[in-house]
Structure 1
């Protein structure tokens, strides 16, 4: 049963690493246009988002990283389910790395307004520093499907709590028996 829980968490997390970048690729350009329109309405010049590296879209090339992570998670889930001994250790390593790095990255995605505000605060332009980043990020968010935000929260929870569950599950005596 503990192996099943670990496998389910790995598969669900892998699925989030497939779906979210596809949504960002599909809807990101419209989101950036909406955010740029909102920034201009607040008095900023055109191109302010690009100047401050504020992006909401994902290019096809950028999707390679999350797809690669998903492929690793799916492979580990399959090998863990099959009882491949090396997979247990590899899952611990990958889970620990993703827990730290992935937790930081996914929490950042949940705090887009704060990251955007920080980018604008570094600007030498007082108009940019005074922009309402909540309104800009909200304008972008309206262009994405309504279920994207909850899915991002799920990915954060799977990346943090879920991967801790995987690590603990694979430490149990029943997991040890499974991998013999």
Structure 2
């Protein structure tokens, strides 16, 4: 181990912020997912689509399954890398380069997915092969689910993305300057 440099501390703090940002995803979904599902079910009924189609196709709005596992895993990896940076471990710089770069790329994919959600969900519904699911008007369906989240969640999403992109970039810059 080398003595901890100030840049290691900067990288570690940024990585902890990124970890917190990722943990916020399942927390918000856990808290407001049931309301989003209820709104989506109401929209399906309005469209004269059986709400059971969601369960039959394993479509969820809560924080179960990969909706929790993926962001919590990212948070754990970033926290572990932060701990190595705080400790001044020689491996910290390499792991920061690997994991912060991956997080930047993953978050870009997440943002793209959110921006193209209607088309992506329409395509996913068609791939499922369920004729009833294929009848869903996706735009109002997604709008109903999104509308069940409090208004501050949109601001939290922007803040989360800013923290992830900015924090990862600063962590990468910090370990470059070590």
TM exceeds 0.5?
yes
Aligned partner of 1:115 in structure 2 is: 120
- Residues 43-85 of structure 1 deviation map (CA, whole Å, 9 limit, x = unaligned): 2122233445543212278524322321221232233234222
Question: Aligned match of 2:171 in 142, 145, 166?
Answer: 166
Question: Aligned match of 2:43 in 21, 32, 38?
Answer: 38
* C-alpha distance in structure 2 between counterparts of 1:62 and 1:120, whole Å: 18
Q: Normalised by the size of structure 2, how large is the TM-score?
A: 0.77
* Greater Cα offset, 66-75 or 113-122: 113-122
Q: Structure 1: which 5+ runs fail to align?
A: 176-180
CA-CA distance at 1:3 after TM superposition: 4.2
Q: Structure 2: which 5+ runs fail to align?
A: 1-5
Aligned partner of 1:83 in structure 2 is: 88
Aligned partner of 1:178 in structure 2 is: none
Whether the 8 Å contact between 2:22 and 2:75 is mirrored in structure 1 is: yes
**Closer, same or farther in 2 for the Cα pair 1:106/1:53, shift >3 Å?**
farther
Whether the 8 Å contact between 1:21 and 1:58 is mirrored in structure 2 is: yes
* C-alpha distance in structure 1 between counterparts of 2:53 and 2:69, whole Å: 27
Q: Normalised by the size of structure 1, how large is the TM-score?
A: 0.76
Whether the 8 Å contact between 2:121 and 2:138 is mirrored in structure 1 is: yes
SS of structure 1 residue aligned to 2:176: coil
CA-CA distance at 1:111 after TM superposition: 4.4
Aligned partner of 2:61 in structure 1 is: 56
* C-alpha distance in structure 2 between counterparts of 1:66 and 1:128, whole Å: 27
Question: Aligned match of 1:73 in 78, 84, 87?
Answer: 78
Question: Aligned match of 1:9 in 9, 14, 17?
Answer: 14
